[in-house]
Structure 1
Amino acid sequence: MLLGNNRFHLSGALLLVVTILFFICHHALSTSTPDELNRSQFRALPVAQSKRVQSPLTDSDTAKHAHLAVPAIPAALRPTGVSSSLSRQKKPPYRVNTIDVGDVALLLYTDASVIGQHLPIHLVTSLLPERIEPDNVLIYSNRPDTIGDWHIVDAFENSTTTTTITTTRRKQKHHSQASLSHHKSGHSSDNKFLPLLQHAGRNKPHAKWYIYMEDESYIFLNNLLHHLSTFSWEEPWYIASSETSRRGFFALSRTAWEQVFGGEETETLQARFVSGLDDRHVLDRVLKEDGVMFGSSDVAVARSEEFSQSQSHRASAINRENWCAPVYSWHGASGRDISRLHGLELNWHSISKRTLQYRDIYTHLIAHEMSHGRIDWALAAGEAHAAEYEITAATADDPAGMPQDVGSTAAWQQGWQSADACETACALWPACVQWSFVGVDDDDHQRCRVDRQVVFTFVGDGLQSTSGWMASRIDEWAC
């Protein structure tokens, strides 16, 4: 009886303990917050899944930040190997990867006739070893040469182009003067990009980007490397100006190089590069045919978030559109320009922590040249920029030849008669920041040119001109 009672009490005690434990657990679960329950469940996940869930989205996460770029060819015609979900980032330009100076090959082309005038300044600015290692540089010309420790590669060494020609190069002696020189070379400088890019890709196979520049260009390397970091070099990208001049500069990703130059036979490529077009337009066409994607470099189209290129501040324009845009490359620069641009870039981080922009080129290198307001010079023929409005005796009365918001039609129509009248016409147009008057004895050739841009050389005919600027209006431009 005692044994039976002991068994009964033992079983009852065990049942009581189990009941109490169940009640405690149920109470704890009912009072737990959803967040605590989630964390409890999360800790039970496998380790690999836990890392995936915990990992936050970064600035380079395409699902969060990517915007589709406009391909060079319609999507339906693009080769299947090219992804339609591109890694180009916009607004703001998030980095896809980090590109430093060791990831690029800088390709500098100089014509043999002017190599002694144009290359030396680059050797002490653009190509300094503390700026870029010599192993990351290739210098090309239309005949082989050696300058100091630099070996100049004949870009046409393996080319079938052997035409002897006479070319014309402009050698800047002063910002107001230019002379022409004729020379004979062993190869045409046309269609140089096929042999040049083939050589570069084969000799610098580890480069992520190939940056081409000419001897009258200056590359703002820090700005450019940061910009290239917003593109994926593992996709076929070609970064260049959309302007028809297409001079001075472009960047080609390694993947684009492999897609165009890496597999096709040289003879087949040479046949594709034969065209009546100039070399840059031929290159553009071949790249488009092979599905390479173009990154716009036209400030007027893409504003400051896209790549921008300009010519020298004496041969191109600074305006409201590019005022706040980063500057990456300038073309048409003299040796003096290149030296000053290099000095500004070298010291920029001691001046400001932000990106070097077009307005900084104006402020530090141009504004003081305009301080006196007017200047006389001889216009150089053949420059690329034409004034927005040109007032002549024949066009003065044409309503289509004047802005709608000009202050006085009568005064505008007299702008072609003198430098003072031209300056008045500019003042009467609120957007005008520069005027240029060409005065000759013949009224038919006398003219007044006005523009909303700062341009240091208009399209000219070698005649003497007087120019001036509305600096106070430029000072009102803001970012």
Structure 2
Amino acid sequence: MYKVEGVVDPILRTGATEAHEKLPIHFQTVLTCIPDFVIYSDFEEDIAGHHLHDILSEVDEDLRQSNPDFKLYNKLRAHGRDGLDYETLFGSGSGGATDNPGWKLDKWKFMPMVDRALRHRPEAKWFVFVEGDTYLVWQNMMEWLSKLDPGRPHYLGKHMYIGSVLFGHGGSGFALSNPAMQRVSQRWRQARAEIEAYTAESWAGDMVLGKIIKDVGIDMFWAFPHLQGDSPTTMDWNVSKLGREPWCYAPATFHHLNSREYEALWAFEQQWLLGHPYPSWTSPKFGDIFKAVILPQLRERRDSWDNMAAGTKYSTEAFVRLTEEDRRALSPAERQAPGSFEGCRAACESQESCIQFSFSPGRCATSTELRLGHAADVPCLEYSNAAAMCLKPGSGRRVEGSLSSSEEFIQAGWIMSRVSKYVERLDDSCVHIEEEWIS
């Protein structure tokens, strides 16, 4: 356990529609290492001995009574969890949508959350905000923040835009230094009615917060790759953004994890700590996590598995529509690709940079991006970078939505000789990285 009082205040944001599902794994894993944290929700309650604070009580009472976004909140206040009824089935998160009650409430939490967190722990140097499906690599986060000056106004975020507004994506986690918190809190108190009016017209609370932070003169620090919008099972391990590839850097968060993925990462962290105890602590890198958690799960063939291959696609349906000239342009391996798992593999092997593929009857997809993916009966993730690559049974295409049946025959494969070379090449690239932290 590491001493954090007066240094970092971790804040977890959740809601009544998801709290009982998503919080327990936090209490069993990462939060066991953090002696002092706070949980803000839209409903005051206790879960597994931990108190959840109603952050929406900070919003203007007249607004709560008049704005339809607060319909669920007012039902919760009046009837407790008995007021959830159908909203429970359509809560925010992987099963939700932008017009569901839980999502509508969520955008109102960000500004009052900053103000209340500062009142709760005014002496903290850093405030780290995460969601119910965010995995916080706590030791890494502490190490990263120690590289930065907490006396300056910092806003660390995974970059995202809505229109022209740049902000730190809430699910990826973001961090504010104490001076930044003070500026935002002061702005909230001075212009609360104006900010609430802007929130009412806006789509996302993390965007509202990002705009206000910019308004008070603080630029966002682009924290990629330390803050991640996807989980280790869905991220592209060789993605390049801002001229950086994750492999050689240290992660501070992952997003969109299910309980099994939490457990796998937690087990990795415990094993890593045993092998790298203080004072000889070394931060685990993305490459370390890949080799320990992801690589052992890759193989030549996995049945009932969608590895989210998202490159060249072949299907018997599409072939029928091809002109004779287009058919002749295909290689023999490509013509056979949708016919069988072996044919799909051959098509991938015929492409020099292809590293993985997926097959279902009449469909083959090959990819130059390496992902583990998930069991075929796991729901697709909404609002994830990988959402568009999730295979929906019977559709013949990848769509954002739920994979509702495990009966669809899906197989995944990796060209393991190329995976080995992939790992070697990325390991070699780390020679040119002098510091694992972007600061």
Determine if the TM-score, normalized by the shorter chain, exceeds 0.5: yes
C-alpha separation in 2, matches of 1:327 and 1:111: 26
Q: Name 1:158's counterpart in structure 2.
A: 58
Q: Name 1:120's counterpart in structure 2.
A: 24
The alpha carbon displacement at 1:200 in A equals 0.8
Instruction: Output one character per residue of 1:289-314: Cα deviation in whole Å (capped at 9) or x when no partner.
Output: 32212221233xxxxxxx34252223
Q: Name 2:196's counterpart in structure 1.
A: 270
Q: Note closer, same or farther for the CA distance 1:318–1:261 as it changes in structure 2 (3 Å cut).
A: same
Matched pairs, number: 347
Whether the aligned pair in 2 keeps the contact of 1:273 and 1:283 (CA below 8 Å) is no
Match of 1:260 among 167, 184, 190: 184
Whether the aligned pair in 2 keeps the contact of 1:312 and 1:332 (CA below 8 Å) is yes
Instruction: Name the SS for the 2:358 alignment partner.
Output: strand
Q: Name 1:132's counterpart in structure 2.
A: 34
Q: Name 1:282's counterpart in structure 2.
A: 208
The alpha carbon displacement at 1:143 in A equals 0.7
Instruction: Name the SS for the 1:330 alignment partner.
Output: strand
Q: Name 2:237's counterpart in structure 1.
A: 318
Q: Note closer, same or farther for the CA distance 1:187–1:278 as it changes in structure 2 (3 Å cut).
A: closer
Q: Name 1:247's counterpart in structure 2.
A: 171
Q: Which one has a bigger Cα radius of gyration?
A: 1
Q: Name 2:77's counterpart in structure 1.
A: none
Whether the aligned pair in 2 keeps the contact of 1:240 and 1:297 (CA below 8 Å) is yes
The alpha carbon displacement at 1:152 in A equals 0.5
C-alpha separation in 1, matches of 2:19 and 2:275: 34
Q: Name 2:107's counterpart in structure 1.
A: 190
Q: Does residue 1:235 correspond to 2:152, yes or no?
A: yes
C-alpha separation in 2, matches of 1:326 and 1:431: 26
Q: Name 2:254's counterpart in structure 1.
A: 330
Whether the aligned pair in 2 keeps the contact of 1:234 and 1:255 (CA below 8 Å) is yes
C-alpha separation in 2, matches of 1:425 and 1:170: 40
Q: Note closer, same or farther for the CA distance 1:437–1:284 as it changes in structure 2 (3 Å cut).
A: farther
CA RMSD of aligned residues (A): 3.4
Whether the aligned pair in 1 keeps the contact of 2:107 and 2:203 (CA below 8 Å) is no
Instruction: Output one character per residue of 1:17-56: Cα deviation in whole Å (capped at 9) or x when no partner.
Output: xxxxxxxxxxxxxxxxxxxxxxxxxxxxxxxxxxxxxxxx
The alpha carbon displacement at 1:203 in A equals 1.3
The alpha carbon displacement at 1:170 in A equals 8.1
Match of 2:274 among 334, 344, 350: 350
Q: Which amino acid aligns with 1:106?
A: P
Alignment of 1:12-411 (within 5 A): 101-102=4-5, 103-128=7-32, 131-134=33-36, 137-160=37-60, 162=64, 163-164=70-71, 166=87, 168-169=90-91, 188-243=105-160, 247-263=171-187, 264-265=189-190, 266-299=192-225, 307-319=226-238, 321-352=245-276, 354-371=282-299, 373-377=301-305, 387-392=310-315, 394=318, 409-411=331-333
The alpha carbon displacement at 1:214 in A equals 1.0
The alpha carbon displacement at 1:254 in A equals 1.3
Q: TM-score, normalised by structure 1?
A: 0.64
- Tell me which protein shows more helix as a share of its residues: 2
Note the residue ranges of structure 1 that are not aligned, 5 or more in a row. Answer: 1-98, 173-177, 300-306, 380-384, 402-407, 441-445
The alpha carbon displacement at 1:346 in A equals 2.4
Instruction: Output one character per residue of 1:143-182: Cα deviation in whole Å (capped at 9) or x when no partner.
Output: 110134422101211214642254734899xxxxx999x9
Alignment of 1:427-446 (within 5 A): 427-439=349-361, 446=363
C-alpha separation in 2, matches of 1:330 and 1:231: 21
C-alpha separation in 1, matches of 2:198 and 2:257: 32
Note the residue ranges of structure 2 that are not aligned, 5 or more in a row. Answer: 65-69, 73-86, 162-168, 240-244, 375-388, 395-407, 428-439
The alpha carbon displacement at 1:338 in A equals 1.4
